[in-house]
Structure 1
Amino acid sequence: MPRALDVTVVVPPSLRALFEGRREITLGVPANTTVGEILETLLRLYPLLRQHFAGDQPVTGGLFVQVALDEPSLEDLSSGGTGLSTGGRLILFSLSRPSPGVRPGA
């Protein structure tokens, strides 16, 4: 069985209500876990998060989530690894979507 690792998910203030007020969440996962699998786990544990991810529905304003990795994780991902290691940080950002009919910069 692959060695387990701990990955920390950093939650921005604007999304903390979806995560029971938590600033960070540490997940213990198998060593071969991918970033996509971490996101799937977060969506299972915190289903209200799903409404803030891009999808097939038209954009209607409000917050949306972007994901970032720390530099060592990005280097690992770019060389064919999973992008995750013990102590790695997956950082969530929330940005505002423009309301329908509003042109950015107008």
Structure 2
Amino acid sequence: MARTLDITVVLSPVLRNVFDGRLTVSLSLPATARVGDVVESLLNLYPRSKALLAGDRENPSGRFLHFALAPGGEGLAAGQKVFLFAPSRRPGGNLAGLEG
């Protein structure tokens, strides 16, 4: 049986409506998974999150997704927590405060 990584994605409060009100999302990914695989899985499971991609012109909220890994090593590991938040953008694309 192939090994898997159990990853927990912790969602900031401003993103919970996009992720069906969830506080966290648990993913089981192949042992070779990288952060891009986490992103791809989330986009597939929660298609509304695609509107929060940085280059999306259909993003009325002005927010965009950011990921952060819990400290303690490089890359993904079993039991890893990935934090997902969405700072707001000022007009023109500059960062405002780190909300969420």
Please tell me the TM-score bracket, short chain as reference.
0.7 to 0.9
Alpha-carbon distance between aligned partners in 1 of 2:4 and 2:45, rounded to the nearest angstrom: 19
Alpha-carbon distance between aligned partners in 2 of 1:57 and 1:48, rounded to the nearest angstrom: 14
Which TM-score applies when normalising by structure 1? 0.77
> Unaligned regions of 5+ residues in structure 2, if any?
none
* AA in 1 matched with 2:86: S
* AA in 2 matched with 1:92: L
| Shift in CA distance, 61/21, structure 1 to aligned 2, threshold 3 Å | closer
Select the structure that is richer in strand. 1
Residue 84 of structure 2 is aligned to residue 92 of structure 1: yes
* AA in 2 matched with 1:93: F
| Shift in CA distance, 101/17, structure 1 to aligned 2, threshold 3 Å | closer
Contact 1:11/1:24, CA 8 A, preserved across alignment: yes
Which TM-score applies when normalising by structure 2? 0.81
Contact 1:7/1:28, CA 8 A, preserved across alignment: yes
* AA in 2 matched with 1:98: R
Number of residue pairs the alignment of both structures matches? 95
% same residue: 41
| Shift in CA distance, 41/97, structure 1 to aligned 2, threshold 3 Å | same
Aligned position for 1:40: 40
| Shift in CA distance, 89/57, structure 1 to aligned 2, threshold 3 Å | same
| Superposition deviation, residue 5 in structure 1 | 1.8
| Shift in CA distance, 60/27, structure 1 to aligned 2, threshold 3 Å | closer
Q: CA RMSD in A?
A: 2.5
Aligned position for 1:20: 20
